[in-house]
């Protein structure tokens, strides 16, 4: 940030505001405090019969690698609505949300991931503009070496674990891995 987005002043300082505990970017001219907070990434693993739907990314980061349809939550949107939108955008598909499976922290890049398991409506999907390819995979077919992000591998692995056990669990994870809270 080079100038204040409120008044245009370049008089920005990093300081701890009175009554606060963290340093914030504060404008010396209009006194506006520019809070910066982590971003929420929302997504959904679409399930159809014994398979899950993954998308091969057409954009960086992770271009060419497989991912659980996910993206930044928009303002004014619930986490579940955002997850359904991401499936629409990346896989041209509709899902009904079943349950939240993943809460995944990546503090060093200021992101928190929330991913659901959902049912692919009618088994129908296409290829969204952010994807090179979308495909249904059985557990044995998952391309583990080509999964784009650790959060997606975490969700896929735990989904199949749950399915074998007949459970629906909320798994809490992180990168770097600090160990499963719900093993
Ligand atoms: Zn200002």
> Quick one: which of 148, 160, 132 has its CA closest to 41?
148
- What is the pLDDT at residue 177? 83
Contact 70, 152 (CB under 8 A): yes
Contact 89, 131 (CB under 8 A): no
Total count of residues recorded for the chain? 183
Q: CB within 8 A of 173, min separation 6: which ones? A: 102, 103, 104, 105, 151, 154, 180, 181
Residue numbers in the chain where pLDDT is lower than 70: 180-183
- Rounded to the nearest whole angstrom, what is the distance from the C-alpha of residue 48 to the centroid of ligand 1? 52
pLDDT digits (tens, 9 = 90+) for 122-154: 999 999 999 999 999 999 999 999 999 999 999
> Quick one: which of 67, 51, 86 has its CA closest to 159?
51
Domains defined for the chain, CATH in brackets:
1-36 (2.20.70.10), 39-174 (3.90.79.10)
Q: What angle (nearest 5°) sits at the alpha carbon of residue 24, between those of residues 22 and 29?
A: 145
Structure tokens at 15: 């300081």
- Rounded to the nearest whole angstrom, what is the distance from the C-alpha of residue 25 to the centroid of ligand 1? 10
- Rounded to the nearest whole angstrom, what is the distance from the C-alpha of residue 9 to the centroid of ligand 1? 5
- What is the pLDDT at residue 183? 47
- Rounded to the nearest whole angstrom, what is the distance from the C-alpha of residue 108 to the centroid of ligand 1? 28
CA–CA separation, 20 and 82 (whole Å): 31
Structure tokens at 21: 């505990």
Structure tokens at 116: 């659901």
CA 27 to chain centre: 32
- Rounded to the nearest whole angstrom, what is the distance from the C-alpha of residue 19 to the centroid of ligand 1? 20
- What is the pLDDT at residue 129? 93
- Rounded to the nearest whole angstrom, what is the distance from the C-alpha of residue 8 to the centroid of ligand 1? 6
Q: What angle (nearest 5°) sits at the alpha carbon of residue 177, between those of residues 176 and 181?
A: 140
CA distances from 37 to 18, 78, 97, 157 (A): 18, 18, 27, 29
| Residues, beta carbon < 5 Å, ion ligand 1 | 4, 6-7, 9, 27, 29-30, 32
- What is the pLDDT at residue 181? 60
Residue 7 C-beta-side C-alpha neighbours within 13 Å = 13
- Rounded to the nearest whole angstrom, what is the distance from the C-alpha of residue 24 to the centroid of ligand 1? 13
- Rounded to the nearest whole angstrom, what is the distance from the C-alpha of residue 21 to the centroid of ligand 1? 21
């Amino acid at each position: 940030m080079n100038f204040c987005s409120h008044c245009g002043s370049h008089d920005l300082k990093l300081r701890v505001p009175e009554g606060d505990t963290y340093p914030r970017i504060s404008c010396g001219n209009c006194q506006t405090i520019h809070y910066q907070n982590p971003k929420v990434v929302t997504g959904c693993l679409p399930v159809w019969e014994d398979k899950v739907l993954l998308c091969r990314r057409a954009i960086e980061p992770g271009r060419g690698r497989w991912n659980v349809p996910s993206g930044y939550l928009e303002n004014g949107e619930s986490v579940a609505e955002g997850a359904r939108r991401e499936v629409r955008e990346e896989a041209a598909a509709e899902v009904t949300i079943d349950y939240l499976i993943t809460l995944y922290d990546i503090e060093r890049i200021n992101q928190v991931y929330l991913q659901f398991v959902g049912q692919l409506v009618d088994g129908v999907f296409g290829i969204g503009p952010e994807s090179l390819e979308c495909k249904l995979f059985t557990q044995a077919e998952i391309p583990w070496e080509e999964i784009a992000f650790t959060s997606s591998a975490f969700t896929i692995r735990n989904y199949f674990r749950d399915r074998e056990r007949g459970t629906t669990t909320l798994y809490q994870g992180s990168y770097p891995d600090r160990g499963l809270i719900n093993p």
